[in-house]
Structure 1
Amino acid sequence: MNLALWIVAGLLALVCLAGSGKMFVPKEKMAGMGGAATRWVEDFSPLSLKAIGAVELLAAAGLILPAVLGIAPVLVPLAATGLVLLFAGALTMRLRRGERATIAGDLIYLALALFLAWGRFGPEAFTG
């Protein structure tokens, strides 16, 4: 189980690291890059997109670094819980916009973050 949690943490960290590009890519360019899947950026200000990107960057670091370094590993399930909230918000936003065709990724990431938070808070709290 511990290996599965590490794999999920690594996968989510990579997803968040890729998503943190919102801090550097202009809003107009992001809206046109991925077709319908990226039209959601039109609902947010550039500052909001930078904040979302910063949260994703912090989540990527929080999912891996505390456990690897052995410094405050309780931050890992807290970061996973934060991602649960982030992906729940993304899912809500997509449903509100009527983008039901693009919610599969958000649902998968939400489930992975829930699994990681449950595993790291509960039965596999870095015991091996």
Structure 2
Amino acid sequence: MNTALWIVAGLLAAVALAGGLTKALLPKEKLGAKAGGEWLADASAGFVRGLGVLEILAAAGLILPAVLDIAPVLVPVTAVAWILLMIGAMITHLRYPGGAKFAAVNSIYLLLAAFLAWGRFVLEPFA
């Protein structure tokens, strides 16, 4: 179970890092031109960059506390925060035409984060 939880944490961290770097570094207009970027028309550039920074911090919070053995309880706490972020992403995507497929992907990330939170809080907490 420990191995599965590490794999899920690594996968979610990679997703968070990729999404965060994209939102933090690319211009809002370029992001909005991609599929699923319709919501960016209603968001400020500062909001998008802030969201990117949050995702980068989530990537760090899913891995570093356990690897460095400094407050490893932050791993499942970050997973819960990721769940909340994915709920917001799903609601946002569903407001736009064609957003259901992006909301479905977000729901998969939500389920993985729920598994990680449950696994690290209940099944295999860090000692």
TM-score of the pair, normalised by structure 1? 0.92
| Identical pairs, percent | 54
Deviations 1:67-113 (A, max 9, x none): 00111001101110110000010011112224213222101001001
Structure 2: any 5+ residue segments left out of the alignment?
none
Task: State the match for 2:88 in structure 1.
Answer: 89
Note the aligned Cα RMSD (angstroms).
1.2
Secondary structure, counterpart of 1:72 in structure 2:
coil
Deviations 1:10-57 (A, max 9, x none): 00000000011211111001111x22x222222211000011001100
Structure 1: any 5+ residue segments left out of the alignment?
none
Task: State the match for 1:100 in structure 2.
Answer: 100
Task: State the match for 1:31 in structure 2.
Answer: 32
Verify: 1:2 aligned to 2:2, yes or no. yes
Task: State the match for 1:43 in structure 2.
Answer: 42
Verify: 1:117 aligned to 2:110, yes or no. no
Q: Which moved more, 1:72-81 or 1:96-105?
A: 96-105
Task: State the match for 2:64 in structure 1.
Answer: 65
TM-score of the pair, normalised by structure 2? 0.93
Q: 4+ runs of 1 displaced by more than 2 Å?
A: none
Residues of 2 paired with 1:20 and 1:78: CA distance? 19
Residues of 1 paired with 2:63 and 2:10: CA distance? 7
Task: State the match for 1:126 in structure 2.
Answer: 126
Query: Aligned pairs, how many?
Result: 125
